[in-house]
Structure 1
């Protein structure tokens, strides 16, 4: 399974939009977060690592508890 950077870009747009709406960041910063390819790639890699790690932890717990894997 691969993560689609388009999905990550859309998630970043929603998050940055919410932060701008709340006044936590400026509009220029929000735009930079949503369109910067380096940030998008970094978040995509981080999300992939996080999802893989969570999967492995859940698998280890299932094995330890004797659940069907």
Structure 2
């Protein structure tokens, strides 16, 4: 289910980038249809969420919020 949502998000992101002229239409199509790009985006998004959680944990211990 997550991969499906990521592909939808990539399709909209590619559309925005193409309409603003930041990338070529062929590259936008590749971004929205390539499963390897979707998997790489999913891994990067998971790493970002893990980094935010670990940063919040560190901040909680540093500020005395965690018991």
Per the normalisation by structure 1, the TM-score is: 0.88
- Measured after TM superposition, the shift of residue 68 of structure 1 is 4.0
Query: Which residue of the partner structure matches residue 38 of structure 1?
Result: 36
Aligned pair 1:12/2:32, yes or no?
no
Could you tell me which residue of structure 1 aligns to residue 65 of structure 2? Answer: 67
Q: Normalising by structure 2, report the TM-score.
A: 0.90
Post-superposition Cα deviations, 1:2-32, rounded to whole Å, max 9, x if no partner, equal x711111111111110000001111111010
Q: Which runs of 5+ in 2 are unaligned?
A: none
Q: RMSD of aligned C-alpha atoms?
A: 1.5
Distance in 2 of aligned mates of 1:62 and 1:35: 40
Matched residues, number: 67
Distance 1:33 1:57 in 2: 30
The runs of at least 4 aligned residues of structure 1 exceeding 6 Å deviation read none
